Structure 1
Amino acid sequence: MKKLTHINQKGDAQLVDITDKAITHRKAIAEGTIQLNKETLKLIQANLIKKGDVLSTAKIAGIQAAKKTWELIPLCHSINLTKIDINFNIDKKNNTIVCQSSCECFAQTGLEMEALSAISIALLTIYDMVKAVDRTMVISNIHLVEKSGGRSGTYVSKDSVKAKVKKTANKKT
């Protein structure tokens, strides 16, 4: 079992020392879903929610969350993000909105928490903006899809689209 890096020899919480780590290009992609009533989804798409443009507001909230992750999660380092991208995919068949965030930087430590924070806050913003018309919403499946850079290399979730495409390609050969 790997040693937890945020715990010192006494068992106390600590900020991980990254002094000697190399600066590398790093990227993290995260994803999450919110399920809504069919009518609520239609209101969002028609931009008829009284609080305003739901998806644009959620995108800005997600960007802010990624930038402020180090202020929200006590043992996260502050990271100078060079790119934050947030996209929404509306799935009418399942009455869901899938949110995906992608964060990039050149740093000594990873930015998985920034990508995950972006998703969490973007989805919570959607919830907040439409809760007056739909209290049955369910936020789920917030997870890391992929990360690259640093000593530990690349990670791709077995559930990611990229992993599924690779698995399908391998079966054909």
Structure 2
Amino acid sequence: MSDNGYQGLNHFDASGAARMVDISDKDETVRVAVAQGEVLMQPATLDLVARGGMAKGDVLGVARVAGIMAAKETGRFIPMAHPITLTGVNVDFRIVQPDRVLIQSRVRTTGKTGVEMEALTAVTVAGLTIYDMCKAVDRGMVLGQVRLVHKSGGKSGTYERDGEQIWGI
């Protein structure tokens, strides 16, 4: 059990109050995180996205920018996430016929804390942006399967999600 009484949960102090973890004594290392997710949609919607026929414009281009912007702002809207300087953010997509867009982000920094939350935020906001830009023709879209597939750097070392493939970026 950790010294705060909450086994494995370091965002709580001894009395159970939420706190931001102090990373002052941690070493700076290169840290990388990759996250993935997907948006399921009607085949006709996917066709519009793939051929650039959506009325609001380039769906995947806008979603890419939204994901990058969100990664950079993660510390502002995830309460216990540290605001950190990112050295790289990529968001990429794969169209999978007949009905889905796969999303993958890779986030990198050299710092005292990891970038898992930034990678997960990038994927989630990119998915929400796809939904927003396509909702006029398909309100039944489903965002899902958002997950961390890789992280490296820091004291805890490397994590690889079993059975996951990193692609593109």
Q: TM-score range by the shorter chain?
A: over 0.9
Instruction: Tell me the residue number matched to 1:131.
Output: 135
Instruction: Tell me the residue number matched to 1:76.
Output: 81
Contact kept? 1:145, 1:159, Cα under 8 Å: no
Tell me, which stretches of 5 or more residues in structure 1 are unaligned? Answer: 163-173
Q: CA deviation at 1:133?
A: 0.2
Hey, which bits of structure 1, 4+ residues long, moved more than 6 A? none
Q: Counterparts of 1:15-30 in structure 2 under 5 Å?
A: 15-30=20-35
Q: CA deviation at 1:48?
A: 1.1
TM-score between both structures, scaled by the size of structure 1:
0.91
Instruction: Tell me the residue number matched to 1:89.
Output: 94
Q: State percent identity of aligned pairs.
A: 45
Q: CA deviation at 1:152?
A: 0.3
Could you list the per-position Cα deviations for residues 94-145 of structure 1 after superposition, in whole angstroms to 9, with x for gaps in the alignment?
x100000000000100110000000000000000000000011111100000
C-alpha distance in 1 between matches for 2:138 and 2:22: 45
**SS of corresponding position for 1:31:** strand
C-alpha distance in 2 between matches for 1:149 and 1:159: 21
Tell me, which stretches of 5 or more residues in structure 2 are unaligned? Answer: 2-6
Q: Counterparts of 1:24-173 in structure 2 under 5 Å?
A: 24-93=29-98, 95-161=99-165
Q: CA deviation at 1:3?
A: 2.2
TM-score between both structures, scaled by the size of structure 2:
0.93
C-alpha distance in 1 between matches for 2:116 and 2:164: 15
Aligned residues: 161
Q: CA deviation at 1:159?
A: 3.0
Contact kept? 1:66, 1:115, Cα under 8 Å: yes
The structure that is helix-richer by fraction is 1
